[in-house]
């Protein structure tokens, strides 16, 4: 390793998170933070780490893209037969983490996960560029394949099969919605005295706590 990562130290700076100024619903705050993050981080601002657990309770994490967020939940799209798809079928619960370095902000979201309705997946699939639509057919996500050629040949076959036609959404590809039960906002501050405000859903309302950093 060329650089000693143990010696890297950064003093985080950001506006204070003052609970008296925050909205009652955490999704309103999330919306504000996401809008700023998309400006600050460019097109990667909607990238988030998704952690799921398998049937033995072992966690697995990977990055996916947030495609919608409202009071119903946070939506991402994937292959229902992928590793994450099998994990969510077994244990329909997940955690999401956003890290926006230029704002010194982290958001954690946890809750149950459900598949979005077919119409919603169809509408999003139809909005994707044709190459991405084809990719949903070509990529048998998470399956071991012999080499890259295998992928390219498969792509050529699907391209031919759908030439001049609309590409339908594969039934094994669609959206997931994480319905938040917990959302935590972390704002980096100097001297490691970071602000952490956590919202927990209690039936029909949200309770707010400040946590030690």
Ligand X SMILES: Cc1cc2nc3c(=O)[nH]c(=O)nc-3n(C[C@H](O)[C@H](O)[C@H](O)COP(=O)(O)O)c2cc1C
**H/E element holding 105?**
strand 105-115
- Is 16 annotated to bind a ligand? Reply is no
Question: CA distances (Å), 16 to each of 25, 35, 104, 137, 195, in order?
Answer: 19, 18, 11, 46, 7
Q: Looking at beta carbons only, is 83 or 201 nearer to ligand X? A: 83
> What residues from 169 to 208 belong to the interface with ligand X (CB under 6 A)?
none
> What residues from 34 to 63 belong to the interface with ligand X (CB under 6 A)?
47, 60, 62-63
Tell me: does residue 156 bind ligand X (CB under 6 A). Answer: no
- Is 205 annotated to bind a ligand? Reply is no
Question: CA distances (Å), 85 to each of 40, 124, 150, 166, in order?
Answer: 31, 18, 23, 26
Q: Where are the alpha helices (DSSP H) in the chain?
A: 26-41, 83-90, 118-127, 130-138, 148-161
CA nearest to 115, candidates 194, 177, 28, 41: 177
Q: How many residues bind ligand X (CB under 6 A)?
A: 15
> What residues from 59 to 118 belong to the interface with ligand X (CB under 6 A)?
60, 62-65, 76-79, 82-84
Q: Looking at beta carbons only, is 62 or 210 nearer to ligand X? A: 62
Q: Looking at beta carbons only, is 124 or 158 nearer to ligand X? A: 124
CB atoms inside a 10 Å sphere around CB 186: 23
Active site amino acids: 192
DSSP-derived 3-state class of residue 168: coil
- Is 91 annotated to bind a ligand? Reply is no
- Is 12 annotated to bind a ligand? Reply is yes
| Residue numbering of the annotated binding site for substrate | 9-12, 67, 124, 128, 132, 192-194
Chain residues that interact with ligand X, rule: CB under 6 A: 47, 60, 62-65, 76-79, 82-84, 141-142
């Amino acid at each position: 390793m060329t650089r000693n990562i143990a010696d890297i130290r950064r003093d985080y700076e950001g506006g204070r998170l003052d609970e008296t100024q925050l909205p009652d619903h955490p999704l309103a705050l999330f919306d504000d933070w996401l809008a700023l993050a998309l400006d600050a981080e460019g097109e990667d601002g909607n990238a988030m780490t998704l952690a799921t657990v398998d049937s033995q309770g072992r966690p697995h994490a990977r990055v996916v893209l947030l495609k919608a967020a409202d009071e119903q939940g946070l939506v991402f799209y994937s292959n229902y037969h992928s590793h994450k798809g099998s994990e969510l079928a077994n244990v329909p619960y997940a955690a999401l983490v956003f890290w926006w370095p230029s704002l010194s902000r982290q958001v954690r979201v946890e809750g149950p996960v459900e598949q979005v309705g077919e119409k919603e997946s169809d509408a999003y699939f139809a909005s994707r560029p044709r190459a991405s639509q084809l990719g949903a057919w070509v990529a048998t996500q998470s399956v071991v394949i012999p080499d890259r050629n295998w992928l390219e040949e498969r792509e050529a076959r699907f391209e031919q099969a759908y030439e001049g036609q609309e590409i339908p959404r594969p039934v094994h590809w669609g959206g997931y919605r994480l319905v938040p039960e917990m959302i935590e906002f972390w704002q980096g501050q100097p001297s490691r005295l970071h602000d952490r405000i956590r919202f927990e859903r209690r039936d029909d309302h949200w309770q707010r706590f400040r946590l030690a950093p």
